[in-house]
Amino acid sequence: MSIAPLPADRHGRPLGVLRLSLTGRCNLACPYCCPDDADPPDLLTLEQQVRLIRVGCGLGIHTLRLTGGEPLLSRRLLPLLQRVTEGRATPAHPLQGLRDIALTTNGVLLTEARASALWAAGLDRITISLDAVDGPLAARMAGLRGGAEAGTRLVQQVLAGLEAARAAGFDPRSGALKLNAVIQRGVNDDQLLPLVELARQRRVELRLIEYMDVGNRNGWGPEQVVPAAEMIQRIHAHWPLEALGRGIGGTARRWRFSDGHGAVAVIASISEPFCGDCNRLRVTADGQAFTCLFAATGVDLRPHLQDEHRLRQRLVALWHDRHDRYSEQRAETPPDRPHAEMAYLGG
Ligand code: SAM
Ligand code: SF4
């Protein structure tokens, strides 16, 4: 059966990346994210998830990012990876179009056994989030009670997770292992250089994320954002940098350390929006499709998920109608509207 290619959206942007959230729950409670305590009812089944990915691949998806909430809390993670990997290995299977499967995790549950199982199941890349090196600040950024002791334990757990992933085969030199950090002015901006130093020591690329106005619960304000240009200037004063740029459809603008110690990146969704080539479709754990991280509502895919043909038609119509460019509009006229929560959307 030949499949009609998916037309670009109303701004000429093709579909390329599926960010699939496996759960809205989390084992941390980062105040900038504010996850829910419980999952929404009617989570997608494994069959529905696989069907969504398969149909998505037929429409141009080449990258799958599994996220949450905390995806390592989901029992579906390994079975889903195994099913997708089987498809990728089958000649002429639509899943052969999938070039890359990535996971975003807070790393707390990333034991050696877990990391090895993920590698064996066919995961290509892991990004681990860590917002501070200092114990008390790590606790504050993760919403942990227990102050310095809890924060120091968290940092140790996350770094153990990072090393478990490296030992399992996720090689930072090929981009298969990275660190993410959200920088919030007045809270953890003094962690910028310590985080960069840690990443350099551990030989992993660090992605510094501008604090974003996702969700309605975190009390976001523009004064809490440290613009990427300022972050880069501060790093450059310590470790000179050379610009590498941002790939088409990518989120991160990368810089190489002039001394040869790897690279660092910024995700400047607030100060330098990249809506112009955004190729991402987000689907929540209960099957709501969002064509923008900053959208208020999604489209319920569940009525279409039993049948590949119907699902394909719905996704084609959804992408065809897509005209979101919220981050660019924010800079022009800040719209006053609610946003879906980050832990529900998956980042
Ligand atoms: N629990 C996993 C984790 O923390 O990596 C995956 C889900 S989390 C929602 C995905 C990413 O979104 C994390 O790197 C997190 O730091 C980031 N994030 C959450 N809320 C954010 C916000 N308001 N602004 C910027 N990044 C945010
Ligand atoms: Fe959990 Fe990740 Fe949100 Fe932090 S950012 S609360 S680890 S989902």
Q: CB within 6 Å of ligand 1 — which residues?
A: 26, 32-33, 67-68, 70, 104-106, 129, 180, 182, 209, 211-212, 214, 218, 342-343, 346-347
Model confidence at 336, pLDDT cuts 50, 70, 90, reads low
Structural domain for 187, as ranges: 17-345
Distance in angstroms (rounded) separating the CA atoms of residues 275 and 310: 28
Residue 6 lies in a domain: no
Mean pLDDT of 203-226: 93
Question: pLDDT, tens digit, for every residue of 66-77?
Answer: 999 999 999 999
Residue 324 lies in a domain: yes
Residue 1 lies in a domain: no
Q: 18 C-alpha to center of ligand 2: Å?
A: 19
Residue 9 lies in a domain: no
Q: 320 C-alpha to center of ligand 2: Å?
A: 31
Any idea which ligand is nearest the CA of 217? 1
Candidate of 20, 28, 33 to mutate for ligand 1, largest count of ligand atoms within 8 Å of Cβ: 33
**Closest Cα to atom 3 of ligand 2:** 33
Closest approach atom of ligand 2 to CA 143: 6
pLDDT of 234 above 80 = yes
Stated as kind and residue range, the H or E segment containing 57 is: helix 46-58
The three-state secondary structure class of 133 is coil
Distance in angstroms (rounded) separating the CA atoms of residues 165 and 176: 9
Contacts 24+ apart (CB under 8 A), 1-9: 3/58, 3/59, 3/312, 4/316, 5/59, 5/60, 6/59, 6/60, 6/315, 6/316, 6/319, 7/316, 7/319, 7/320, 9/291, 9/319, 9/320, 9/321, 9/322, 9/323
Residue 3 lies in a domain: no
pLDDT of 4 above 60 = no
Give the per-residue pLDDT at 328. 83
pLDDT of 150 above 70 = yes
Distance in angstroms (rounded) separating the CA atoms of residues 304 and 202: 45
Model confidence at 214, pLDDT cuts 50, 70, 90, reads confident
Closest approach atom of ligand 1 to CA 269: 25
Its pTM stands at 0.95
Closest approach atom of ligand 2 to CA 182: 5
Residue 323 identity (one-letter amino acid): H
Contacts of 323 by beta carbon, 8 Å cutoff, 6+ apart: 9, 10, 11
Give the per-residue pLDDT at 3. 55
| Region label for 180, one of left (φ > 0), alpha (ψ between -120 and 50) or beta (otherwise) | beta
Contacts of 212 by beta carbon, 8 Å cutoff, 6+ apart: 220, 269, 270, 293, 294, 342
| Counted domains in the chain | 1
Least confident of 103-107, 160-164, 250-254, 342-346: 342-346
Domain harbouring 102, CATH code: 3.20.20.70
CB-CB contact of 336 with 24 (8 Å): no
Give the per-residue pLDDT at 1. 44
Mean pLDDT of 316-341: 80
Any idea which ligand is nearest the CA of 126? 1
Place of tokens 């090393």: 163
Stated as kind and residue range, the H or E segment containing 308 is: helix 308-321
Q: CB within 6 Å of ligand 2 — which residues?
A: 26, 28-30, 33, 35, 68-70, 106, 129, 343
Maximum mean pLDDT: which of 4-8, 89-93, 146-150, 151-155? 151-155
Residue-wise DSSP of 65-114: EEESS-GGG-TTHHHHHHHHHHHHTSTT-GGGG--EEEEEE-STT--HHH
Q: 308 C-alpha to center of ligand 1: Å?
A: 31
The three-state secondary structure class of 14 is coil
Residue 278 lies in a domain: yes
pLDDT of 98 above 70 = yes
Give the per-residue pLDDT at 327. 85
Residue 218 lies in a domain: yes
Higher per-residue pLDDT: 152 or 3 = 152
Residue 266 lies in a domain: yes
**Closest Cα to atom 11 of ligand 1:** 347
Question: pLDDT, tens digit, for every residue of 169-199?
Answer: 999 999 999 999 999 999 999 999 999 999 9
